[in-house]
Structure 1
Amino acid sequence: MQAEHIEILEFLRQHQPFTELDDKVLQRIAEHTDVTYYKAGTQILAFGEEITDWHVIRSGVVEVYRRSGELYDRLTTGGYFGQFGLLRNNRIRFPARALEDTLVYLIPEAMFTELFEEHENFADQVEVEDRSRLRQAVARQIDGNQLMSAEVDSLIQREPQLVTVSTPVRDAAIRMSEAGVTCVLVVTESDQPLAASRLVGIVTDKDIRNRLVVPGLPYDTPIEDIMSGCIASVEHSQFVFEAMLMMLRYNVHHLPVMRHGIPIGVIALPDVIRYESQNSLFVVRNIFKAKTVEELAALQPEVKACFSRLVAEDANSRMIGTSMAVIGRSFKQRLLEMAEAELGPPPVPYCFLALGSMAREEQLIVTDQDNAMILDNAYNPKEHEAYFVALAKFVCDGLHACGYEYCRGGIMATNPKWRKTLKQWQQAFVDWIENPVQEVLLNSFIFFDMQGVWGETQWASQLTGLVAEKAMHNPMFLACMARGALGRTPPLGFFKGFVMESDGDHSRSINMKRRGTAPLADLVRVHALAIGSRAHNSFERLQDLIAADYLPEGQGPDLRDALEMLAMVRIRHQAKDLEAGRVPDNSIEPDNLSDFERKTLKDAFQIVSNAQKSLRFRYQSVRAYG
């Protein structure tokens, strides 16, 4: 062994995580290690660049940063960095810079991977501890994504063009042309400066064409007559991702940007597209352009491609789940438009509901349809039933044609059991809460995840408010829900090994929905009901629980990280199935995961298991029998 290798060997013997490795292994490491020097202030690793070596500090000081520029860690002799990039896509997630003149040992990727996969103690020490490993895995998922880190005000290029409600359209059009913009914001008449006046509408160049020129209105028509009112807006400090979702939800191409109630700019679709390479905006646009069910069904490849691109671009589970849910809602909305065009206007008002994962905005590419209908209290079955039977059939058959399988449990608007008047729905929820019967509630869990997608959507909000108010004051109901939430457990054995399916088409696998994300969503739902949270999304419910200090210390953030990890394993599995031309499913084979993924997956399952024990303990004093 050469002299420089002997020096490296002695260094490794004295520093973690190498101290427990035998000398033969250490000698091999030393023989394959290179040494490099970095002058103070030198960039060692830059975000996004390829990484091929694990970095161990021989001498000096290195600072590691988050992508946002925030200091993440400061390392000295014996410290190491770059492992997260090696374990995921070989791309730098945490940039590093030499604070002082620094010598670094470079251990090749192949050697690092061999050590990580074959020496468990080494791997555990590299990751520090179970909770840290999971948290770091989740953190780099978020840090690596522009949509989650870029704020809306970074997209603003100029001040907004403001006009009052009485401004002639001609004058507004001249302003738009001179400023080179495609819209103006409309504010109320006031003695205050325009920027301090109340924002009441927006007018785009398309509005001028369609609402002024085509109908032949005079050019001096007040702009109030052609503006779009009740407009959606976004706060300057929100993320680009949130602005994208708002455009998706409301099918708009312009969003006013507000700071403390004052418009400071407008972002347009092209601004967001610079960040939104996944094209979910275009999928939604094409859904609303479709003229027939056949045209809608033909968009399935675009939906799958959108899902795959989101995964490839390192979107996190919240982004993917919300985007796919918005796409699903858009299919429902367009089908309802088509149904009403074919059947005529509804005889009484109604609200079409999304249930389950779509309502929670946690939908993936493998999903069935869960929906229901709220009917006006004036509904008369003899006079009105035929219309709503036809409407429900049109929508549910259309969703099936678009890739949303029929619900095997029959929870669809085509089932007369799930077409109720508002008063009947209110009574149903009151009965479920005040007279909890285990068997009934097990079949009703899905209705506690509910959003209106069409029609009188405020009715869905009223029901959510009713549930939030009554559930938190009924311990018997919460105990009954808790018992139901404990029916599905994480697949961990006595020694933290995986317990896998033993028969069927997916033997030696784990169903990541049934044994992972679903149990976690169930227990979060129970806790959220207990505090009166009106949130639908599991991440938002966890935020409410953390803010209310309702969970044991540290459990809220742990559950958040576990949900992200479990969801992303499921998501990546489905994306790989699509890439390979297979029908995607929820069943993964742990043997096909990397050692790092298996470890973090066990961490996440253990967190869910511990949270279920906590849930059981919280309600064990309440006996809830059906």
Structure 2
Amino acid sequence: MHDDIRTIQTFLESVHPYDTLPQDELARVAGSFGRRQVPAGTEIYTMGEPLTGLYLIESGSVEILDRNGVLVSLLGRRNSFGERGLMRDGLAVTVARATEAATLLKLPVGEFRRLIASFPSFERFFNRSRGAEPRVNDLTTRRVSEFLTREPIACGPATSVAAVAKIMRDAGVSSLGVTEDDGQLIGVVTTRDLAVKVLAEERDPAAPVSEVMTPGPVTLPPTALGSDILHLMLERRIGHLPITDNGRFVGMVTQTDLTRLQALSSAVLIRDIAGAERVDEMAAVTRRIPQLLLQLVGGNHPHEVTTRLITDIADAVTRRLLAMAEAELGAPPVPYLWLACGSQGRQEQTGVSDQDNCLMLDDRVTAGDMDYFVRLARFVSDGLDACGYVYCPGDMMATNPRWCQPVAKWRDYFRGWIHRPDPEAQMLASVMFDLRPIGGAAGLFTDIQTETLEAASKNSIFVAHMVSNSLKHTPPLGLIRGFATIRSGEHRNQIDLKHSGVVPVADLGRVYALQGRLTAVNTRARLAAATEAGVISPTGGRDLMEAYDLIAETRLEHQARRVRAGGVPDNFLAPSDLSDFERSHLRDAFVVVRTMQSAVGHGKGALG
């Protein structure tokens, strides 16, 4: 083998997805690459020219500039560039320039497309479009690891029977794993064992659990399927199945778990909410939302489906609270409309959400009527907080008198924000453009929404300020080390997938909706509508939607992992928790968002 080809092959073995190729195929691909030495300052390609291959950096660094000359990425060893053009129409859509002397490997376009067509690992890596199809809620095809939603509860063999009973009572479980000091499973004890082998036989409660446990129980690994659990439970007539990883106890699956998982759906939760008579009954239902999130993410549902179903639950809670408030306070003196803004307004709630809401009142409302709506707002807001939708830190709630006003006052608000777009007006307008009716007289909002969109879109100064406001949240791109992580505090070395991830795209979607007078509120719906209306180009719209999909789904997968580990969902992800593959694509998605921000900031809709 030629020395250059051998050197390239050795290098490719350290680069994903080439490391997935068989050795003979890898050798053939290595021979297809050409090597090029590039002096610092050299433009490797310029936007609009045909791309003839995929570039892979062997050494040095390359900067990627958008159409406005704004730096969006600085790439180093093992990074690729040019694939977006090759996956599209063969044209460069950015500028690539060496920032220092670089050695580039170039794979011809024909060979690149052959690898894409022949090897799924290449297609997955270079094509950011949406992947797996949603799965139905079928336990038989889901992995056992998806069922393990809490840390394993275990005891040592010398633990007394009485102590075991207390552990099970306090943890609310019906079985325990009995393990050695190193976590190796040696037995299982259940509430039935305590009843049959201890109480019924009048054994000493101080006896060690090893005397009543089932030793050497049958187990399954986390990689087993739900069908394996069902078959084993039926064959052995058991209701508790320990899960082990190389003999180490990692969790327990019970018949109750299977029943709960099979029955859990947004429809079931909404049914239970609709039938609740007290706030604490609804709170018990909403505490099941993290498990629903886990199930939806595990089922490969698109993020907009998952967040829509979770938001539907918040809507149902709100409407039930409104009905309960009216039952307690009596009929409202005039028609009213409860609206949500923020993530609930956009139907984008995840496993962690606060409340953002307001009240619009019929213009016939009198000063004497306001006490009713003050009490109604307090009832609903307190109920939402009790159900896990915590009070808004910025007091953007109907309990704030500023956000409980007649329609005429709301019209004044919007006119004032449009004609005097100071920083507070920009912030408030951004929030209020996401309003969505939840309960009450929806007609109170229809005209004001149409009027506001028309007036706002015609005011170029206001639009410019809204564009500027939309650029305040930027993707966490570090020029040197991949990601710009949080530098200090509780979330040091993490990235905020909400404020630095989905919010920049939500802000762009809001601007596009304003420019096109589009009534959609959901971010993905706004991007689709803006693309269809020509506010952004087909290529720009497609790229931004794919980037948004990746960021939003990464956020949900992170939250699901937190739930599966027994924690609470949050938005803070350590890039080190991702694989090289995942980091590469997440960074690519952030680059797309940054590029689109640059385009809108320069008065251009999107990349052409």
Match of 1:140 among 122, 125, 131: 131
Q: Residue 539 of structure 1: CA displacement?
A: 1.1
Q: Residue 277 of structure 1: CA displacement?
A: 7.6
Q: Which SS does the other structure have where 1:367 is aligned? A: coil
Whether 1:370 and 2:361 are equivalent positions in the alignment is no
Amino acid at match of 1:374: M
Amino acid at match of 2:557: R
Q: Which SS does the other structure have where 2:414 is aligned? A: helix
Whether 1:427 and 2:401 are equivalent positions in the alignment is no
Q: Which structure is richer in relative contact order (CA contacts within 8 A, separation 6 or more)?
A: 2
Q: Which SS does the other structure have where 1:612 is aligned? A: helix
Aligned match of 2:8: 20
CA distance, structure 2, for counterparts of residue 491 and residue 23 of structure 1: 29
Q: Residue 497 of structure 1: CA displacement?
A: 1.7
Q: Could you tell me whether the CA contact under 8 Å between 2:497 and 2:551 is conserved in 1? A: yes
Q: Could you tell me whether the CA contact under 8 Å between 1:471 and 1:477 is conserved in 2? A: yes
Q: Residue 543 of structure 1: CA displacement?
A: 1.2
Cα distance, 1:502–1:121 mapped onto 2, change above 3 Å: closer
Which segments of 5 or more consecutive residues in structure 1 lack a partner in the other structure?
A: 1-9, 31-52, 60-76, 80-118, 148-275, 621-626
CA distance, structure 1, for counterparts of residue 525 and residue 299 of structure 2: 23
Cα distance, 1:78–1:500 mapped onto 2, change above 3 Å: closer
Whether 1:498 and 2:483 are equivalent positions in the alignment is yes
Match of 1:578 among 558, 563, 571: 563
Cα distance, 1:322–1:120 mapped onto 2, change above 3 Å: farther
Q: Residue 492 of structure 1: CA displacement?
A: 0.8
Cα distance, 1:478–1:287 mapped onto 2, change above 3 Å: same
Amino acid at match of 1:339: A
Q: Residue 619 of structure 1: CA displacement?
A: 7.8
CA distance, structure 1, for counterparts of residue 263 and residue 23 of structure 2: 38
CA distance, structure 2, for counterparts of residue 452 and residue 518 of structure 1: 21
TM-score by length of 2: 0.60
Cα distance, 1:524–1:600 mapped onto 2, change above 3 Å: same
Q: Which SS does the other structure have where 1:140 is aligned? A: coil
Cα distance, 1:460–1:483 mapped onto 2, change above 3 Å: same
Superposition pairs for residues 510-525 of structure 1, below 5 Å?
510-525=495-510
Cα distance, 1:134–1:339 mapped onto 2, change above 3 Å: farther
Which segments of 5 or more consecutive residues in structure 2 lack a partner in the other structure?
A: 31-75, 89-122, 138-261
Amino acid at match of 1:416: P
Aligned match of 2:333: 347
RMSD over equivalenced CA pairs, Å: 3.4
Cα distance, 1:57–1:21 mapped onto 2, change above 3 Å: closer
Whether 1:615 and 2:600 are equivalent positions in the alignment is yes
Amino acid at match of 1:140: G
Aligned match of 1:531: 516
Superposition pairs for residues 549-588 of structure 1, below 5 Å?
549-552=534-537, 554-588=539-573
CA distance, structure 2, for counterparts of residue 598 and residue 432 of structure 1: 40
Moved more, 462-471 or 349-358: 462-471
Q: Which SS does the other structure have where 2:288 is aligned? A: helix
Q: Residue 20 of structure 1: CA displacement?
A: 2.2
Cα distance, 1:448–1:289 mapped onto 2, change above 3 Å: same
Q: Residue 23 of structure 1: CA displacement?
A: 8.7
Aligned match of 1:509: 494
Q: Could you tell me whether the CA contact under 8 Å between 1:357 and 1:363 is conserved in 2? A: yes
Q: Residue 442 of structure 1: CA displacement?
A: 1.7
Cα distance, 1:613–1:291 mapped onto 2, change above 3 Å: same
Cα distance, 1:278–1:137 mapped onto 2, change above 3 Å: farther
Q: Which SS does the other structure have where 1:353 is aligned? A: strand
Whether 1:402 and 2:395 are equivalent positions in the alignment is no
Q: Which SS does the other structure have where 2:518 is aligned? A: coil
CA distance, structure 2, for counterparts of residue 354 and residue 599 of structure 1: 36
Aligned match of 2:467: 482
CA distance, structure 2, for counterparts of residue 130 and residue 280 of structure 1: 38
Amino acid at match of 1:614: A
CA distance, structure 2, for counterparts of residue 130 and residue 585 of structure 1: 34
CA distance, structure 1, for counterparts of residue 13 and residue 588 of structure 2: 28
Aligned match of 1:594: 579
Cα distance, 1:460–1:599 mapped onto 2, change above 3 Å: same
CA distance, structure 2, for counterparts of residue 538 and residue 358 of structure 1: 12
Q: Deviations over 1:116-135 (max 9, x none)?
A: xxx97498799997988677
Q: Could you tell me whether the CA contact under 8 Å between 2:487 and 2:493 is conserved in 1? A: yes
Q: Deviations over 1:288-328 (max 9, x none)?
A: 01110010111133222111100111111110111111111
Q: Which SS does the other structure have where 2:360 is aligned? A: strand
Aligned match of 1:417: 402
CA distance, structure 1, for counterparts of residue 456 and residue 85 of structure 2: 41
CA distance, structure 1, for counterparts of residue 340 and residue 419 of structure 2: 24
Q: Could you tell me whether the CA contact under 8 Å between 2:430 and 2:510 is conserved in 1? A: no
TM-score by length of 1: 0.59
Moved more, 424-433 or 371-380: 424-433
Amino acid at match of 2:581: F
Cα distance, 1:277–1:55 mapped onto 2, change above 3 Å: farther
Match of 1:333 among 303, 319, 322: 319
Amino acid at match of 1:430: R
Instruction: Give aligned-pair identity as a percent.
Output: 34
Cα distance, 1:600–1:378 mapped onto 2, change above 3 Å: same
Q: Could you tell me whether the CA contact under 8 Å between 1:353 and 1:460 is conserved in 2? A: no
CA distance, structure 1, for counterparts of residue 574 and residue 290 of structure 2: 22
Q: Which SS does the other structure have where 1:298 is aligned? A: helix
Superposition pairs for residues 72-151 of structure 1, below 5 Å?
121=78, 136-141=127-132, 143-145=133-135
Q: Deviations over 1:34-57 (max 9, x none)?
A: xxxxxxxxxxxxxxxxxxx96769
Q: Residue 439 of structure 1: CA displacement?
A: 2.8
Q: Which SS does the other structure have where 2:309 is aligned? A: helix
Q: Which SS does the other structure have where 1:551 is aligned? A: coil
Moved more, 306-315 or 462-471: 462-471
CA distance, structure 2, for counterparts of residue 612 and residue 128 of structure 1: 20
Whether 1:303 and 2:289 are equivalent positions in the alignment is yes
Q: Deviations over 1:180-213 (max 9, x none)?
A: xxxxxxxxxxxxxxxxxxxxxxxxxxxxxxxxxx
CA distance, structure 1, for counterparts of residue 340 and residue 80 of structure 2: 44
Match of 1:314 among 292, 297, 300: 300
Q: Deviations over 1:438-491 (max 9, x none)?
A: 332223311110111111012223222122221221111110111111111111
Aligned match of 2:201: none
Superposition pairs for residues 114-263 of structure 1, below 5 Å?
121=78, 136-141=127-132, 143-145=133-135
Match of 1:359 among 337, 345, 359: 345
Q: Which SS does the other structure have where 1:603 is aligned? A: helix
Q: Could you tell me whether the CA contact under 8 Å between 1:278 and 1:313 is conserved in 2? A: no
CA distance, structure 2, for counterparts of residue 542 and residue 277 of structure 1: 34
CA distance, structure 2, for counterparts of residue 613 and residue 480 of structure 1: 15
Q: Residue 585 of structure 1: CA displacement?
A: 1.1
CA distance, structure 1, for counterparts of residue 500 and residue 515 of structure 2: 23
Q: Residue 584 of structure 1: CA displacement?
A: 1.8
CA distance, structure 2, for counterparts of residue 134 and residue 375 of structure 1: 52
Amino acid at match of 1:350: Y
CA distance, structure 2, for counterparts of residue 455 and residue 574 of structure 1: 33
Cα distance, 1:522–1:496 mapped onto 2, change above 3 Å: farther
Q: Could you tell me whether the CA contact under 8 Å between 2:286 and 2:388 is conserved in 1? A: yes
CA distance, structure 2, for counterparts of residue 470 and residue 139 of structure 1: 37
Q: Deviations over 1:97-121 (max 9, x none)?
A: xxxxxxxxxxxxxxxxxxxxxx974
Superposition pairs for residues 382-401 of structure 1, below 5 Å?
383-401=368-386
Q: Which SS does the other structure have where 1:554 is aligned? A: helix
